[in-house]
Amino acid sequence: MTSTRATLQQVAERAGVSLASTSRALHGSGASKAMVERVRAAAAELGYNVDAIGRSLRMGKTSQIAFAVADIGNPVYVEMMRGIHEVLAPHGYRVVVMTTGDTAASTAELVRSLSGGFVDGVVVVPLRTDDELIDELRQAPVPVVVIGRAMSDRGISSVSVDSSAGIGEAVRHVHSLGRQRIGFLNGPLDTTPGSSRQRGFDAAVGARDFSAERVAVEVADDFTVAAGFEAGRRLLAGADRPDAVVAANDLLAIGVLRAARELGLSTPRDLVVTGMDDTELGQVYLPRLTSVSLGSAERGRTAARLVLELADAPDAPAQQVVFEPELIVRESTVDGGAR
Amino acid sequence: MTSTRATLQQVAERAGVSLASTSRALHGSGASKAMVERVRAAAAELGYNVDAIGRSLRMGKTSQIAFAVADIGNPVYVEMMRGIHEVLAPHGYRVVVMTTGDTAASTAELVRSLSGGFVDGVVVVPLRTDDELIDELRQAPVPVVVIGRAMSDRGISSVSVDSSAGIGEAVRHVHSLGRQRIGFLNGPLDTTPGSSRQRGFDAAVGARDFSAERVAVEVADDFTVAAGFEAGRRLLAGADRPDAVVAANDLLAIGVLRAARELGLSTPRDLVVTGMDDTELGQVYLPRLTSVSLGSAERGRTAARLVLELADAPDAPAQQVVFEPELIVRESTVDGGAR
DNA sequence: GCCGGTGTTGGAAACGTTTCCAGCACCCCG
DNA sequence: CGGGGTGCTGGAAACGTTTCCAACACCGGC
């Protein structure tokens, strides 16, 4: 908190040269060796640092990218942010975290605020989507990359993963273990992940080579451990208790495991459970959680690369990247599963 | 990605009034009702949004605060960020995430980069500290609040918690359970948390009313589950195995629980374990982890408030806030402990 | 010896905003 | 009817930077 920062003008005066030459000597090209040396010396004496705002205004570029999610704190988003940060930092970009709120309207509102021009691009993870939001995304004044939902609208870049298929894999996995009473624990159906995972489950149990004694579906209020515990209790209550539960994400899966334990069920003997997202939490849980990896960090990295490309070449065409999910088997479905 | 954004000048022309009046009508005071209405209409037609950069340059204020940590992704930092975001967002501030790297030198380098002037203040969590860093913090061109270490230097604001005392509480807790062979699992000693927690342990076991058959200390390479598992194995090996382990954070504690399970030990019967930080991970773990809460979210909120104060009144005196730790007893030390 | 090219420099404009200041109209009071 | 105040408006400067453009010096080739 000392004095005020030195300006380029002051450096110029100290070096006894013009403002233009000073700028060129420090950051540009076309300055003589002598000039560069002289200006550098003056800058060093004054402890000069270029002002990011002044430069941004002149260059029309902020070197900032926004990452917009409903609620930072969800481990999946944190993973993504790490990936994004990892790619962006070496290019001199800073990451600004923004909170969208969990409705489509509040997300649209946030996207609108981007026209404040404080970022060069945005990676957004919409929890819920509607036409207004799509419109807003298409018309945003900066490059936008959407994570989490394949954009049918060709004008919007997206990085998604076929979570439907991932649920299918999980269902086939527990089925192949001989489980015949299969429960599906989903989160709110009006969210993007909720609806696609529901589709995946319905497709899997509707497949021709699939037969089960019983299929049950329960919907939790939220994608959290607490909600999973509550809904899990309902799912496991009653006479015809499932011997396998496929959960829509790791947090719900852990909620179910909690509920199962309270009922005195042993995992994986009495009940097998699968999660989705392959979070660190699941990896170290007891039992280690079988989970469908959606490659969160990798999606983050890819989204960051995309947004960089678009920021450099604003007229580049939008791209849709789709990843394949991967089932990772651990102790919650197979005794002594992979460590 | 459509056309270019409208500027204040364009709004002024459209409304047929001067630039000055336009600015006043939209954001300032001293404009007539008629003027406001007219300008608002023009702005709406053009979809005008004030440009953050232009405004920043003029006002000398960016409405951004940096949050600088070694590695975003650590659950404790995420908690803090939530707290910070929660306080800052309603005041119109954005949060910029920055990575310090884990050495004092790289942290100093980052603090230096703040003189780029792209933020109005910074909340920093230094993992390691040295004189150079302290100097840099004191001379930073924007308000700085340090989390995690009580700053003896009165010129630097800090929000800290007496983690030493927290370790003491944990030690007394397991001691009061009748445990006589006590192990301490710490992280790297040259870090700020590592050294203060070591001090706390040494003080607790050196206290007059303390007696134990055996005291053992093990140091893990890092504050992670994996490192805790490795070091935990060493700690639990050998003849005179501890019947209680106090760990320096939750991740290490979970590593120990893993190791214990592998040895066939039952918790809390054969071994009780305490963590520190009271992370969500520990709260839902099996067994639920007894942990010393350091109030991460609250520390984040307080730091955010401090930095706001300083940003408003740059000459306000630095403040040191110290929180008290709180032991939260759960299943990992007491059968059927609090849910 | 002149001309065109090359290399370097400084002046000035521009990015988009807010705010100081001067000017003007109007009203009220004496 | 004049004077002082009040309320509103527009011109212009300023924030810190980069870059266009013109000016100038110098060099080599004809």
**Per-residue pLDDT tens digits for A176-198:** 999 999 999 999 999 999 999 99
Q: Is the pLDDT of residue B219 over 70?
A: yes
Identical fold, A64-161+296-324 and A163-294:
yes
pTM of the model: 0.92
- Residue B17 CB in 7 A reach of strand D: yes
Predicted local confidence at residue A153, as pLDDT = 75
Q: Is the pLDDT of residue A304 over 90?
A: yes
How far, in Å, are A33, A93, A144, A164, A194 from residue A158 at the CA level?
47, 20, 8, 17, 18
Contact partners, residue B113, CB within 8 Å, separation at least 6:
A49
User: Which residue places its CA closest to the C1' of nucleotide C9?
Assistant: A21
The matching CATH number, chosen from 3.40.1260.10, 3.80.10.10, 3.40.50.2300, 3.20.20.10, for A64-161+296-324 is: 3.40.50.2300
CA-only gyration radius of chain B, Å = 26
* More confident position, A337 or B138: B138
Determine the residue among B10, B46, B53 to mutate to test chain A binding: the one whose Cβ has the most chain A Cβ atoms within 10 Å: B53
Predicted local confidence at residue A54, as pLDDT = 97
| Interface contact A62-B50, CB threshold 8 A | no
Could you identify the residue written with the tokens 């102790």?
A: A331
Q: Is the pLDDT of residue A152 over 80?
A: no
Give me the residue from B62, B85, B314 closest to A97, CB to CB. B85
- Nucleotides on strand C lying under 7 Å from protein C-beta: 7-20
User: Could you tell me the residue ranges of all domains in chain B?
Assistant: 8-50, 64-161+296-324, 163-294
CA-angle at B28, arms to B23 and B30, nearest 5°: 100
Give me the residue from A73, A96, A285 closest to B94, CB to CB. A96
d(Cα A309, Cα A23) in Å, to the nearest integer? 28
Average of per-residue pLDDT values in chain B: 93
Which nucleotide minimizes the distance between its C1' and the CA of B24?
C18
d(Cα B253, Cα A158) in Å, to the nearest integer? 39
Q: How far is the CA of A122 from the C1' of C11 (A)?
A: 39
Determine the residue among A2, A50, A69, A118 to mutate to test chain B binding: the one whose Cβ has the most chain B Cβ atoms within 10 Å: A118
> Closest by alpha carbon to A183, among A227, A244, A263?
A244
* Position B28 confidence tier, pLDDT thresholds 50, 70, 90: confident
Predicted local confidence at residue B1, as pLDDT = 42
- Nucleotides on strand D lying under 7 Å from protein C-beta: 7-20
* Position B257 confidence tier, pLDDT thresholds 50, 70, 90: very high
User: Where do runs of H (alpha helix) occur along chain A?
Assistant: 8-15, 19-26, 33-46, 52-59, 75-88, 104-113, 131-139, 163-176, 192-206, 225-236, 250-262, 280-284, 296-312
CA-angle at B130, arms to B129 and B134, nearest 5°: 85
Predicted local confidence at residue A337, as pLDDT = 58
d(Cα B172, Cα B203) in Å, to the nearest integer? 11
B290-293 and B326-328 beta bridge pairing: antiparallel
Predicted local confidence at residue A338, as pLDDT = 53
Q: Is the pLDDT of residue A288 over 70?
A: yes
Q: Is the pLDDT of residue B154 over 80?
A: no
- Spell out a b/e string for A248-276, using b for 16 or more CB atoms within 10 Å of the CB, else e: bbbbbbbbbbbbbeeeebebbeebbbbbb
Q: How far is the CA of B22 from the C1' of C20 (A)?
A: 16
Q: Is the pLDDT of residue B160 over 50?
A: yes
* Position A71 confidence tier, pLDDT thresholds 50, 70, 90: confident
Predicted local confidence at residue B157, as pLDDT = 95
| Interface contact A51-B89, CB threshold 8 A | no
B256, B228 in Cβ contact below 8 A? yes
Q: Which residues of B in 58-117 have their CB below 7 Å from strand D's atoms?
A: 58, 60
Q: Thinking of the domain B163-294, which architecture would CATH place it in?
A: 3-Layer(aba) Sandwich (3.40)
| Interface contact A117-B53, CB threshold 8 A | yes
Average pLDDT over residues A94-104: 94
Q: How far is the CA of A118 from the C1' of C17 (A)?
A: 14
Predicted local confidence at residue B3, as pLDDT = 59
How far, in Å, are B84, B166, B326 from residue B323 at the CA level?
16, 11, 9
B226, B163 in Cβ contact below 8 A? no
Predicted local confidence at residue B120, as pLDDT = 97
> Closest by alpha carbon to A256, among A336, A244, B335?
A244
Average pLDDT over residues A40-62: 96
CA-angle at B69, arms to A26 and A125, nearest 5°: 95
* More confident position, A97 or A3: A97
Q: Is the pLDDT of residue A2 over 60?
A: no
d(Cα B163, Cα A214) in Å, to the nearest integer? 52
As given in the structure block, the two tokens for residue B56 are: 């920043």
CA distance A140 to chain B (A): 5
Q: How far is the CA of B133 from the C1' of C13 (A)?
A: 42
Q: Is the pLDDT of residue B302 over 90?
A: yes
CA-angle at A152, arms to A151 and A158, nearest 5°: 20
Contact partners, residue A239, CB within 8 Å, separation at least 6:
none
Average pLDDT over residues A255-275: 96
| Interface contact B141-A116, CB threshold 8 A | no
Q: How far is the CA of B62 from the C1' of C16 (A)?
A: 14
- Residue A58 CB in 7 A reach of strand D: yes
Exposed, middle or buried by CB within 10 Å (0-12, 13-18, 19+), for B219? middle
Cβ-Cβ contacts under 8 Å between A and B: the total is 131
| Interface contact B72-A78, CB threshold 8 A | yes
Q: Is the pLDDT of residue B2 over 50?
A: no
Q: Is the pLDDT of residue A89 over 60?
A: yes
Rounded percentage of chain A residues whose pLDDT exceeds 90: 87
Q: Is the pLDDT of residue A279 over 70?
A: yes
